[in-house]
Amino acid sequence: MYKVLVPIVIFIRCTVQAQTIIPLYKGIAPGSENWTWTEKETSLGKSRILRDVSKPTLTAFIPAKPNGTAVIIAPGGGFHILSYTSEGTDVANWLNQKGITAFVLKYRLVHEDPAYPENGLMAILQKRDFKKLDSVNAPVVQLALQDGIAAMRYVRQHAEPYHIDPNKIGFMGFSAGATLTMSVVYSATDESRPNFVAPIYPYENAIIGKTIPETRVPIFITAASDDNLGLASHSVHIYQKWLEAGQSAELHIYQKGGYGFGMNKQNIPTDSWINRFYDWLQLNYP
């Protein structure tokens, strides 16, 4: 549909991790031609927070010894922000230690207009008004889906220079990024469909598409029962749908962990969710 830019880069095999930023579109991303705002970065604790993303990119994290598996990572943030560290780069760095090539996706986000504070993410979540959130987000979720499909297409088309097996490319997302993950697997064609998916504490209501692929696409899902947004049941429902379709599925619901635990360390079992993901990945793609 849309051509991605090929990064002009020479990969030098060495003991340190290499990173490359890849624009997903040549020029302005289709659908955001009239966006005039610029991307902003703030911090929350140790995590980088991105807002107003209008130029979608992938950042490639290359392990010293690639094992052929790749994962695209979509951070969460309600389609208004990206929790870029704990749900993005920290995940990529961990996967690199296992030989997995990782790509952190910056997808397009809702611009919060100061003239309409009631449409801001925090204002909406304080009221638990998910219908309003879906209404505000809907146009941008469609654009984010384009970005996710473009990311999948890029990685598969460039599997060889990254030392990736084109049949071992997965998509992992957190919260809104998990919504994007599921939208990609439901909406993509064979060329852009992930081989496996990992929605982490997904939000199901805004997912685009409903058709589970007929081809094998294993799924790994995790969430916490004490999720303060009350969304743990979304993980259970997705798991049930996958099983009913005859697909391979694994679900971990932790008693404690809250919503948005990502790679944060809390000295509780959710700290090791990514180890369980790796165990599952080894089972399906040894």
CATH number at residue 198: 3.40.50.1820
Residue 12 resides in a domain = no
Residue 4 resides in a domain = no
pLDDT of residue 5: 45
Overall number of domains in the chain: 1
pLDDT of residue 199: 99
Residue 265 resides in a domain = yes
Q: How many whole angstroms separate alpha carbon 100 and alpha carbon 39?
A: 29
pLDDT of residue 22: 97
Residue 7 resides in a domain = no
Q: Is 147 in contact with 4 (CB distance < 8 Å)?
A: no
pLDDT of residue 12: 32
Residue 149 resides in a domain = yes
Q: Give a three-class secondary structure readout of 66-87.
A: CCCCEEEEECCCCCCEEECHHH
pLDDT of residue 44: 82
pLDDT of residue 10: 36
Would you write out the chain's pLDDT as a tens digit for each of its 286 residues?
Answer: 444 444 433 333 333 346 799 999 999 999 999 999 999 999 887 789 999 999 999 999 999 999 999 999 999 999 999 999 999 999 999 999 999 999 999 999 999 988 888 899 989 999 999 999 999 999 999 999 999 999 999 999 999 999 999 999 999 999 999 999 999 999 999 889 999 999 999 999 999 999 999 999 999 999 999 999 999 999 999 999 999 999 999 999 999 999 999 999 999 999 999 999 999 999 999 8
Amino acid 284 reads: N
Residue 6 resides in a domain = no
pLDDT of residue 18: 60
| Tokens encoding 147 | 């970005």
Contacts of 239 (CB under 8 A, 6+ apart): 219, 221, 249, 251
Contacts of 78 (CB under 8 A, 6+ apart): 121, 125, 133, 137, 175, 176
Domain encompassing residue 198 = 18-284
Residue 258 resides in a domain = yes
Residue 1 resides in a domain = no
